[in-house]
Amino acid sequence: MATATARATLGSVYHFFPGGKEAVAVAAITHGDQEFSALLRAALRGWEHLVHDKLLGPGIPAGDAQGLATTIISALEGAEVTAQVVRSEEPLCATGRQLARLVGSYGTPPVS
């Protein structure tokens, strides 16, 4: 029981959650969603930072590298969803080819 785990009395629970079990469940889901969202944001920022740094290596200006990193990750995420829906790796391959052309348009060889 949640009250035993939290070392709280049932009266305390109802004091802070007058809506009863449903209010407790909503609070738990909301709190869990917030933690999960924070983890996802941190992972995405880390991934963008990694791509940004890789783009700086071949000489892409920092201002361009940031926007390009966001574009690359967004395109790959969309391609991943599309690939799963159509059950084919072609969306990922096509996106990779186009992203290589995009990076190459900055006058630098595509990063690997």
Which pTM was predicted?
0.67
Banded pLDDT at 93 (limits 50, 70, 90): very high
pLDDT in tens, 103-112: 999 876 555 5
Report the alpha-carbon angle 92-52-67, nearest 5.
80
Return the pLDDT at 14: 66
Return the pLDDT at 3: 47
Encoded tokens for 3: 């009250």
Return the pLDDT at 30: 84
pLDDT of 35 higher than 70: yes
Return the pLDDT at 8: 53
Rounded distance between C-alpha atoms, residue 10 and residue 7, angstroms:
10
